[in-house]
Amino acid sequence: MNFLVVKRNFTTIFINNLNLKNYVRGKMRITISGPPGSGKGTVSKILAKHYHLKFYSVGDLRREAARKKGMTIEKFNKWSEKHPEQGDEYFDYLQRSKQNKNDFIMDSRLGWHFIPNSIKIYLDVSFEEGAKRIYLQNEEKNKRNEQKYTTLKETIKANKERVENDVTRYKKLYNINPYNTKNYDILVNSTKLNVKSVVKKLIKEIDKFRKKQKNKSIFC
């Protein structure tokens, strides 16, 4: 079944049928990153409901800032290169402010870097599949304030350019690469998985990771 069809129909159903009795209370911080179209926003919201966590999305904040400036997110990212104090540095400050907070999940490209004491998740996807999801979603309604492309090929090219732009900006600002999977505790590839499968796999991996870390206070 198509990833986007499952995404639309599954989120509410899955949330309503979660077994919340399995929720273990305690300090919990989760950061989730990944390339465009990986599904991390949708997955993060479901995980937040499952673990009773607050949900923060830096991507949503950036898109809203871009919208206020009359820009697409692609143009805003390029603008941020020349105006870091109003772009990347501002949003990075917002992330750092959550370092001492508990019980939240953050959908953020750099969450792993600014909140190192979190469970750091990387949700991967191929350029082709990620672009396909974005292309189909924007065909329905451009909710993400992203530039619309007339073909899938254009979307793939734009995704690659966006990743290259991220790598350049964050290398210059912090000397880091958010797409280096060695920075993360949990890695899941969503390319051939629907939302339901991704969520179930992540819950299994998160619970396994927390069990291993049970003697560390930040995960107890």
Give a three-class secondary structure readout of the chain.
CCHHHHHHHHHHHHHHCCCHHHCCCCCCEEEEECCCCCCHHHHHHHHHHHCCCEEEEHHHHHHHHHHHCCCCHHHHHHHHHHCCCCCHHHHHHHHHCCCCCCCEEEECCCHHHHCCCCEEEEEECCHHHHHHHHHHHHHHCCCCCCCCCCCHHHHHHHHHHHHHHHHHHHHHHHCCCCCCHHHCCEEEECCCCCHHHHHHHHHHHHHHHHHHCCCCHHHC
Domains and CATH numbers, the chain: 3-8+27-219 (3.40.50.300)
Q: What is the mean pLDDT of each run of 10 residues along the chain (220 residues)?
A: 51 45 60 95 96 87 76 74 62 57 87 92 96 82 62 90 90 93 98 97 97 65
The pTM for the full model equals: 0.73
